[in-house]
Amino acid sequence: MFSLSEGRNSSLCGRNALFCMQRFQFAFNDIVSSVSSVSVDELASRYVLSGISDSQQREAELLMELISIRDRILCLPSVFCLSDIVTLIEHVCMS
């Protein structure tokens, strides 16, 4: 906590915290408060999601799932081959 409140730019953690505060428009207390149940990831997600439509959010979620299937993190029935998944990824990215 000292490095964030006092060190700021002299520590890597402090620089990252300051960047996040400026970029995602949240306060120092949002990051370090033990009372807050909101994580930095949630704060950043709110900022990012506030600037896109529901349709864009669904497209991003689809793209994440397709990439996870391509990278074999998620599984899909064997009726689809890798080239089919890559084609779907390209279609989502280009539309």
- Residues in the chain, pLDDT under 70: 1-11, 13, 30-41, 43-44
Cα(60)–Cα(69) distance, rounded to whole angstroms?
14
pLDDT value of position 6: 63
Alpha carbon distance 45, 52 (integer Å) = 11
Q: What is the DSSP letter of 37?
A: -
* Tokens describing residue 26: 């949240």
Residue 65: what pLDDT? 93
Instruction: Print the SS3 string covering 20-31.
Output: HHHHHCCCHHHH
Assigned token pair, 25: 């428009």
Token digits of residue 95: 């539309």
pLDDT at 38: 62
pLDDT at 13: 66
Domain definitions of the chain by residue range? 2-50, 54-94
